Amino acid sequence: MKMRSRLGPFAQSAFTVYWSGGLVSNIGTWLQNVAASVFVYDRTGAALAVVTIAGAATELHVMATAFLLQVSWTLAKPSSSAMLPALMPRAQLREAVGLNTLQFMVAQLVGPVLATILLSTSGYGWAFSINALTFVGPIVAMAYLWSRGIGGRAPRDEGAAKEVQSVVAYVRTQPWIAWVLVGVVSTSAVLEMIRTIAPALVTTRLGVPSSDAGLVVAAASVGMVVGILASVPLGRRGYARALAPVGLVMQFAGLFALGATTDLVVAGTAVALAGCGFSFCFPVLTSTIQTEVPDAVRGRLLAFHQMAHLGNRPFAALAAGAIAASFGVTAACLGGMVLAPIGLVAVRAAWRGLDRQAEPVAAMARTSV
């Protein structure tokens, strides 16, 4: 029993299979991302392993394949995320969301390293072939869950279905959800801004080659991994809600230090702090939606969640790039710091909304005793 407690969500075989399949696939995704970027940068693009090995690849292949991969990911991600509550007890859900985020961070570290090794030894064709094979991971995981009757369509509740027929109407009755999504945008956009300004930062502020921008981005990933590992024991001690505002403050401090420094080590530390703040904040907000909304609407709401998490990227990148180009990297960092106060207001409003929602339920429980 003690060992199962230490393992947390990994004590549930269904979650372990789900997590492992996702890890394999995400390593392949980052392998693909790096290999495609390098290949296009060199001179041409490779969409399929077959055309790459045959020497018939063009930029159009990369664009078409990237589009199709992103569409498939957009369709699959909300459904796979909505499956989490069926894999473990509710009490472990926040920790499971954090471990799921850790899965992406590990893949983000391993995938590029694997891409570097393959591109230097085997070529682009093998890189894309291995990425294709990694899709077997989630396929096997989903087949295993299906064979155990886990993660399928929930029994239809006509009353609940009518109540959540319109997701927008449901969100209007639960304003805390909108505040959670604002918090997701605030913490996610910070990392996208850092990725965007990294090349300008290392060349204009730090005085090192632009290739060292990868070290800055890697520092964010290291910080995110550290944040996930640190947040798990804190969450078990009942500090989950406090982690979100603390994470936003950490991102604020990280951006401030990043804008002020001219040293690569300090810059890496500042970016790692911002990444750690993301890992404190994002899993808490995500698990709140996972645990507080009914099954009938969870998948659709998680689609909105993905829009908040990833849909801000082009806008955050455009804003960061425009500010950095016009006023410098320091100004871009100062602009990004505005996101932390917005996130803090959103998190506070979300927690208050949830508490007000729980008060009538508690009152009914007391009167029924």
pLDDT for position 270: 96
What would the pLDDT profile of 55-100 be if each residue is shown by its tens digit? 555 556 656 666 666 666 666 666 666 677 777 776 777 777 777 7
**Angle subtended at Cα 37 by Cα 334 and Cα 128, rounded to the nearest 5 degrees:** 135
Give me 12's structure tokens.
């549930």
105: left (phi over 0), alpha (psi -120 to 50) or beta: alpha
* Residue 111: per-residue pLDDT: 79
171's tokens: 């969100």
Do 81 and 303 form a contact (C-beta atoms < 8 A)? no
Q: Cα(71)–Cα(343) distance, rounded to whole angstroms?
A: 29
Fold of 160-369: Growth Hormone; Chain: A; (1.20.1250)
Give pLDDT, residue 336. 95
Cα–Cα distance list, 369 to 204, 355, 361 (Å): 68, 21, 13
At residue 229, the pLDDT reads 86
CA quadruple 169, 172, 175, 180: dihedral sign: positive
- Where residue 74 falls (left for φ over 0; alpha for ψ -120 to 50; beta otherwise) is alpha
Q: Is 88 left (phi over 0), alpha (psi -120 to 50) or beta?
A: beta
Nearest to 306 by CA among 9, 70, 30: 70
Cα separation, 267 vs 264, whole angstroms: 5
Residue 223: predicted pLDDT: 92
**Which residue reads 């932390």 in tokens?**
340
Model pLDDT, residue 10: 78
Phi, psi at 85, each rounded to 5°:
-60, -20
What pLDDT band is residue 44 in, cutting at 50, 70 and 90? very low
Q: Taking Cα atoms as reference points, which of 157, 174, 181, 106 lies closest to residue 342?
A: 181
| pLDDT beyond 50 at 364 | no
224 with 101: CB under 8 angstroms? yes
Element (H, E) at 158: helix 158-163
In this predicted structure, which of 91-100, 221-230, 304-313, 342-351 has the lowest mean pLDDT? 91-100
Residue with tokens 């498939």: 72
pLDDT of residue 183: 97
* pTM higher than the cut 0.85: no
Q: How far is CA 276 from the centre of its chain?
A: 13
**Which residue, 243, 315, 311, 306, is CA-closest to 279?**
243
Q: What is the pLDDT of residue 102?
A: 77
> Which ranges of 43-58 would DSSP assign to H, the alpha helix?
49-54
Backbone dihedral angles phi then psi of residue 58, each to the nearest 5 degrees: -135, 170
- Distance (Å, whole) CA 100 – CA 305: 15
pLDDT (0 to 100) of residue 53:
44
The answer to whether the beta carbons of residues 30 and 112 sit under 8 Å apart is: yes
